[in-house]
Structure 1
C-alpha cells in the first residue's frame, strides 16, 4: 500500500488561528491526571486541528486535516507510554480519509503495517482529545436544540479503529457553574455529552473535563516528552 502525499490547498503560509485551549481533569473526574492542549487553525484552504493529550498511562499527539467544508482528509496519531524505555515505545498511525478506500499505515516496535478500514468515507472523526468534536459541530452548521445529524464516523481512540454510523445531537443548554454559566451540550454515541461555548469550542464534558482557567486545583504532574510530533514525516 503506497503512501499518499500530505494534503495541501492554497497558500499554506497563510495561517489563521481559529481557536486554542487547555482542558484538564476537574475535581469530579474519575481520572485525575488528564490534560489536553488543542489548537485549531486555517492553513490556506484547509482546516487543521492539533491535540496533545497526556495522562499517566499514555501520551498522544494528534493532527487532523479537513477541507474547507470540514470534511476530514487525513488523521495522524502518535501514542507513547510514559516511562517506557527508551523512547516511550511509540505507535504512530496515519489515516487517509479523502478517497473511496480508507487506509491506515502504522509504525510501532512490532514493525510496519498497512490496513484498509471497512466503511464509507467518514463525515467526522472522534479521536484522543474532546476538542476534535468541535470540527464535527462546525461541519454540521447551525443546530437547534433537538437537532440530530448522523453519518459514518472514524473512531480512532482505541487500538482498533473503526468506522460506524454515529449521531451528533444538540441537547438543551446547561447552566454549569464550574464553567461560569450557560454552556451548549452536544451528545455523541448516545451517551457522551460534551460542553461547548457558542462558537462550538469544547470547554468540558459531563465526565468532568474542564478548562484550565475554570479550575483552582493543581495541574497534573508533567510527563516525559518524546520529541516534537512529525505528522508529515512519520510513520
Structure 2
C-alpha cells in the first residue's frame, strides 16, 4: 500500500508541468535579434523565415510578433543597434582630460566595436543590400546621416575653439572610419592570424595618424600650406 501511494505521488509530481521562466522583454528581444543574425548569416535574408528565427530563439512566432512586426523590422534593428558610429569624440573633455586622451578613447571605442556580431552584420549588409535597398536607404537616412552630422558638428566645435586644426580630416571627419572598415573586411576574408596582424598594425597606425592630424600645431611651428593660425582672443 505504501509502495502504491509512493508510486502515485511520484506519478503526480511527474505530471505537474515545469514552471516556465518568464523572461523580460529586453532579454527576449535580444534573443530574437541574436537568432535572426544567425539565420540571416546562414541562409540569407530572403531564405530566413520568421518561423526559423522564432525556433532558434526558443519562442513562438506569436511571441516574436509581440517584439517585431516583420522580418524587415528585425533586420533594421540589427543595423541600427550594431552599426553605430563611435561617439568617443562627441563628449566634452572631462576636467583634466586632454585631446590625446579623447583620440585614444575614440580609437579604443571604434576598434572594440568590431565584435563578431558587427562583422556578421557588415557581411550581411554587403551581401543583402541589393535585395532590400529600401531598408538600407532608410537605415542610412535615419541612423547614419544624423550620427555623422552630430559627429561633424562636434569636430567643428573643437576646430572653432582652437582645440583642433582645420584639415581635410576635420572638414569631413567620416573619412577617419575608413581604416576601421578595412580591418572589418580583413576579418571577413583573411585567415585569423593575418587578420589579427592587420588589426594591430592598422589600429596603431590609425592612432598615430590622428594624433598627428588632430592636434594643433605648437606656436612657432609652420601650419600646412593654405592654413592660417586662428587669431588669439584679446
Q: Same fold (TM over 0.5)?
A: no
TM-score of the pair, normalised by structure 1 = 0.21
Larger Rg: 2
TM-score of the pair, normalised by structure 2 = 0.21
Which structure has more helix as a fraction of its residues?
A: 2
Which structure has more strand as a fraction of its residues?
A: 1
